[in-house]
Structure 1
Amino acid sequence: MTQTSVVIAPLAIPATLDAADPAAADFIAAGRLLNDHMLELWGNSDFHDTPETQLAGCRPTPVRRRVLLAARDGDEILGLATLGLPLADNTHSAYVNVVVAPHARRTGLGSRLYAAAEQAAAAGGRTTLLGETEHPAQPEQHTGAIAPKSGTGTIPADAAAAFAAAAGFTLEQVERISLLNLVDASVGREALDDAAAAAGSDYELVFWRGPCPDQLVDSYAVLRQKMSTDAPMAGLDLEEEHWDAARIREDERKARDMDAEVLVSAVRHRPTGHLAGHTLLMVFNANPAVAFQDDTLVLREHRGHRLGMLLKTANLIRLGRELPQAARIWTWNAAENDYMLAINDQLGFEPVGYSGEWQKLRPAR
């Protein structure tokens, strides 16, 4: 392989994975590269996605589309840059990820892929570029640490961090990556009853698996919108998202297409009938031993009643009952989110790594 033999060009998102579709084989190969990268990074297949799930995740929706750029030498795909482009809000931004096969690293290929991705983002008028690096907890392998501008937490000064910095990104925030082995979970009926007693009679739990009930969907949309502003964001240049019933239904359709089970526990404020908080767990049916903790939010005006503990405890109990194959849960929390980290610690989550949230601001044309 030589630099001049490697060509970077858009990778088509196929209509289907049928062998008759000329774009299917390349898409499957690119997905395999992503899966291999996560296996190399974490040493397990917890983040393995099937081609069907990857295709569903890449298809455009009213709120986001993806651009794929592949580096290839002949028929071999050596690297991939992905761009996530918001369409409904934050249309000034783009999410960038670059992956290079191990045998093609240290050749400048990653920098070429990133340059192509930045050029594509600029062509779409995107002035804020966002990226994430993940760092398993292996401090003995690194001699330095990098602190974000927010001042909370650190990530190791490893190759991924060096790549982001060399591309002109600034580390804005650190998130703690935590893992809960459910056999070790400090959760049960007693913990749920204690949290419910602290919440008081003004609050009641409601649950759904899959689509949100019609009578709650507008209230649920308020929670999802507030999640975009109330979670700690450090200095990330992101504005409030707009959520309504249509966006909720689109999000649910996407989860179905990706063959994911979604369990939501919510708390309803009895005096108003509105939802005061929610938490969400997702399990992909192709990998049923692994669950991912997504949003957890309690509206500011309802905090101080242990609703966060109530929500998460209730959903963990439901997970064990409804999806008993689930053996562990991954979650990400801002390092400065002391309240949520304390709840996770009580439930038995253990830190297993950190992610860096990076940002690059480009001048507007």
Structure 2
Amino acid sequence: MTPLVVELLVLPQSTELPDADGFLAVAGLFNAQQREIWGNDDFCETPRAQLARLRSTPTRRRQLLVARAGSAQVILGVAQLNFPLTDNLHTGTMNVVVDARARRRGVGAALCAAAEELAAADGRRTLIAETDHLLGGGEGTAGEGPASFIPQDAAASYALACGFRLELVERISRLDLPADGAGEGFPDSAAGAGYELVFWQDACPDALVDAYAQLRQKMSTDAPLGGLDLVPEVWDAPRVREAEGKARGMGYGVLVCAVRHTASGELAGHTVLEVARSKPAVAYQDDTLVLQRHRGNRLGMMLKAGNLRQLGLHFPEVQRVYTWNAEENRYMLAINEQLGFRPIGYAGEWQKELSLD
């Protein structure tokens, strides 16, 4: 094999410009990986959406490493790196994809080594990676508990070979909606005594943005983390607006349902649904959180059922909704099951401690 060259890829200003060829090849690799895992395009993104997702922001620096070979410098693989800039400064996340025609030739190992070197040079001592696995993909990895859900497939084998440890398992579930309306058949979304539901689309009202930022921050501490070496994220109104701007740039419509404690005016919880306007048949469940002091009032079901009913009103073409939950989060899994979600696969969260010498 021609010697590999691993280098940083500079993002183009637009996918329409002549210098976008390398990025378009990378976008194709990301989509090919999703089709290979799931057998459909439900997790694929347009190049324009990927470009918006991969741009750096005030809270995240995002970089791409590509592996090239041959006189034509064909891109054989890519490593995506995300480095937090306002919290968790000791961490980075990594996603490696190798062209199916170039596997078992050292491309993945070279990308992993380069990614680790880049992360360590930036002072990151912990690197986190995620793998996706279709349900029924084979026998579980060695061990008991959550590890038993992750099959011994190529992705898991690669993570283990690179020195990563499995720290958390998330169940990936799908809700198939009735053809005659996404919002029909869900429990009445009226909040219980002492609470009221509040909805917004795409942008949080100014009067609620500070309270909503606190909910987003709590999501980083209250959601199960397994053994992941993470500390609370820092959220404020500008970060909320940053996230909303990113969703707009990616072409996503966003529906938020929050629940407000009427006596205090406090936002007690929230849930988020996202729909790619280029793929109107699919929605993705993002955060769902109820603050600890308000739990026990069935607010989780109220929130999720309420937002699913809104989904039917605003995005009637949606046919499938996907959600991710830690396998240990039995309460939220039970709510999803009551709503009709069924497991389709698992995501493994892997972690490696880096040497900063």
| TM superposition score normalised by structure 2 | 0.95
Q: CA deviation at 1:108?
A: 1.3
Residue 42 in structure 1 maps to residue 38 in structure 2: yes
Q: Per-residue CA shift, 1:93-112, capped at 9, x if unaligned?
A: 01011111111001111101
- The CA distance in 2 between the partners of 1:357 and 1:210, in whole Å, is 29
Tell me the equivalent position of 2:165: 170
RMSD: 1.8
Equivalent residue runs for 1:1-365 within 5 Å:
2-4=1-3, 6-20=4-18, 22=19, 24-73=20-69, 74-139=72-137, 142-147=138-143, 151=146, 154-183=149-178, 188=184, 191-192=187-188, 196=190, 200-365=192-357
Q: Per-residue CA shift, 1:37-66, capped at 9, x if unaligned?
A: 111111000111111111111111000011
Secondary structure of 1:156's match?
A: coil
- The CA distance in 2 between the partners of 1:45 and 1:151, in whole Å, is 27
- Report the CA distance shift for 1:276/1:152 in structure 2 as closer, same or farther (over 3 A): farther
Task: Tell which deviates more after alignment, 175-184 or 259-268.
Answer: 175-184
Q: CA deviation at 1:187?
A: 7.1
- The CA distance in 1 between the partners of 2:75 and 2:123, in whole Å, is 28
Unaligned runs of 5+ in 2: none
Contact 1:188 1:313 in 2 (8 A): no
Between the two proteins, what is the percent identity of the paired residues?
54
Q: Per-residue CA shift, 1:140-179, capped at 9, x if unaligned?
A: xx2443447x757521111111110111110001110101
- The CA distance in 1 between the partners of 2:256 and 2:140, in whole Å, is 40
Contact 2:82 2:92 in 1 (8 A): yes
Deviating above 6 A after TM superposition, structure 1's stretches of 4 or more consecutive aligned residues are 184-187
Contact 1:269 1:276 in 2 (8 A): yes
Secondary structure of 1:121's match?
A: helix
Alignment: residue pair count: 354
- The CA distance in 1 between the partners of 2:38 and 2:161, in whole Å, is 24
Contact 2:24 2:47 in 1 (8 A): yes
Secondary structure of 1:13's match?
A: coil
Q: CA deviation at 1:186?
A: 10
Q: CA deviation at 1:201?
A: 2.4
- Report the CA distance shift for 1:269/1:154 in structure 2 as closer, same or farther (over 3 A): same
- The CA distance in 2 between the partners of 1:54 and 1:172, in whole Å, is 27
- Report the CA distance shift for 1:187/1:338 in structure 2 as closer, same or farther (over 3 A): farther
- The CA distance in 2 between the partners of 1:182 and 1:356, in whole Å, is 27
- Report the CA distance shift for 1:11/1:215 in structure 2 as closer, same or farther (over 3 A): same
- Report the CA distance shift for 1:18/1:166 in structure 2 as closer, same or farther (over 3 A): same
Contact 1:146 1:154 in 2 (8 A): no
Q: CA deviation at 1:345?
A: 0.2
Contact 2:182 2:319 in 1 (8 A): no
Secondary structure of 1:191's match?
A: coil
- The CA distance in 1 between the partners of 2:142 and 2:174, in whole Å, is 23
Q: Per-residue CA shift, 1:189-242, capped at 9, x if unaligned?
A: 67125xx4xx53210000000110011111101100000000001110000001
Contact 1:147 1:155 in 2 (8 A): no
- The CA distance in 2 between the partners of 1:314 and 1:97, in whole Å, is 34
- Report the CA distance shift for 1:146/1:203 in structure 2 as closer, same or farther (over 3 A): farther
Secondary structure of 1:81's match?
A: strand
Secondary structure of 2:212's match?
A: helix
Contact 1:177 1:352 in 2 (8 A): yes
Secondary structure of 1:192's match?
A: coil
- Report the CA distance shift for 1:189/1:289 in structure 2 as closer, same or farther (over 3 A): closer
